[in-house]
Chain A
Amino acid sequence: MVFKALSDPTRRHILELLREGPMSAGSLADHFNISKPAMSAHFAVLREAGLVISEKHGKSVMYELQMSVLEEALLNFARMFGWKLQDGKPAKPHRTGRKVFNRTEVVD
């Protein structure tokens, strides 16, 4: 479950954003150029893997990171591994929004 959750670059970016603190589903979705159902699917995978917990806060759903040290090490390893795969290839923008991530991973 954890490996599946960490294998996707979008989910890894969600986890990186949540390192800063709890965020609403809407705020997280603003950082990605993908549909809401797709985002919901990513959230569900992360929740099932136990990497995030969610709570209803008014009308929105808030997400909070819940990663062990080993899981965080795996996340960092997955990121580094992704960067290695991308070596020598130009990075292309992954999304539009306030903060642009570059797609640095080939594995999706």
Chain B
Amino acid sequence: MDTETIYSRPVKVTVFGFLALMGVAGAIAAAKTAGIIETTVERRALGLVIGVLVVLTGNLLPKTRPLSAAGGGRARAMAVERFAGWTLVLAGLSYVALFMFVPLDQARTISSIIGMSAIAVVAANWLWQLRSAASRGQKTMDDTDANAPVPSKAVADRRKLLFHLLFAFLWVFATACAMSLFSTKRWSGQLGWGMTQSFFIMYAALTAVLGSRRSDSACPSNRR
């Protein structure tokens, strides 16, 4: 079995898992609209679906390796991905437990705080590792990279695509957490609009920064 086949299996699981869970979420929303289930049941069920989505994302993150597409060194990226994976899995399991056993109001508040904290910790750890690599003059390389295998174009392209999908998912998740946490505030509408606008700005900035990093990595002088 070649590397691309081995790599494509978890990618397929991720994509089909996402689509299946989005289908379940759609069915729950449709059932509520049709009057089959009550609002509280709908909210609990959607909370569970979101929790399972976060567990799925976290579980397969170290296997699909999307962050290695962003540079910072292969071993460092692997460490960040393992940390992010464990953090998201624990956050997702907490989410599921909260929406199963805790009163809905408390579950929504606590799960939102847990979700936003998990994303903040993952982002901070990733940025810290990138900064640490850059401060050592290792824009994309580290000690293990000198001998690291270069992934095939197909694998590298899939990792880039998954990196963008991961960013989008985490941003939507953060937005959902913020909206849930501040749903009673008068400015919650503006918050949602602001988060949506920020997504495009952050996405453009991230794409530009990562593009420049990849250009650096393509320069042979950067390889030791």
Residues of A near any B CB (own CB < 8 A): 19-24, 47-48, 50, 53-57, 62, 64-72
30 CB < 8 A contacts A-B: A19-B78, A19-B82, A21-B143, A21-B144, A22-B74, A22-B148, A47-B6, A50-B6, A50-B9, A53-B3, A53-B6, A54-B3, A55-B3, A55-B149, A57-B147, A57-B148, A62-B147, A62-B149, A64-B74, A64-B148, A65-B78, A66-B62, A66-B63, A67-B63, A68-B60, A69-B58, A69-B82, A69-B86, A70-B59, A72-B82
CB distance from A92 to the nearest CB of B (A): 31
Residues of A within 8 A of B63 (CB): 50, 66-68, 71
Residues of A within 8 A of B144 (CB): 20-23
Is B36 in contact with chain A by the CB < 8 A criterion? no
Contact B62 A24 (CB under 8 A): no
Residues of A within 8 A of B151 (CB): 55
Is B7 in contact with chain A by the CB < 8 A criterion? yes
Residues of A within 8 A of B9 (CB): 50
The docked-state distance in angstroms from the alpha carbon of A69 to that of B61 is 8
Residues of B within 8 A of A69 (CB): 58-59, 61-62, 82, 85-86, 89
Is B135 in contact with chain A by the CB < 8 A criterion? no
Is B65 in contact with chain A by the CB < 8 A criterion? yes
- Most chain A C-beta atoms within 10 Å of own C-beta, residue among B58, B60, B61, B149: B149
CB distance from A26 to the nearest CB of B (A): 11
Q: Mark B42-79, 1 if CB is under 8 A from A, else 0.
A: 00000000000000001111110100000000110010
Q: Mark B1-24, 1 if CB is under 8 A from A, else 0.
A: 101001101100000000000000
Residues of A within 8 A of B7 (CB): 53, 66
Residues of A within 8 A of B152 (CB): 55
Contact status of A72 and B149, CB under 8 A, knowing A47-B6, A48-B1: no
Contact B75 A21 (CB under 8 A): yes
Contact B150 A57 (CB under 8 A): yes
Closest to A56 in B: B149
CB distance from B14 to the nearest CB of A (A): 10
Residues of A within 8 A of B6 (CB): 47, 50, 53, 66
Contact B82 A66 (CB under 8 A): no
The docked-state distance in angstroms from the alpha carbon of A69 to that of B60 is 7
Residues of B within 8 A of A56 (CB): 149
Closest to A66 in B: B63
Residues of A within 8 A of B85 (CB): 68-69
CB distance from B7 to the nearest CB of A (A): 6
Closest to A68 in B: B63
The docked-state distance in angstroms from the alpha carbon of A31 to that of B23 is 48
Residues of B within 8 A of A54 (CB): 3, 149
Closest to B82 in A: A72
Closest to A49 in B: B6
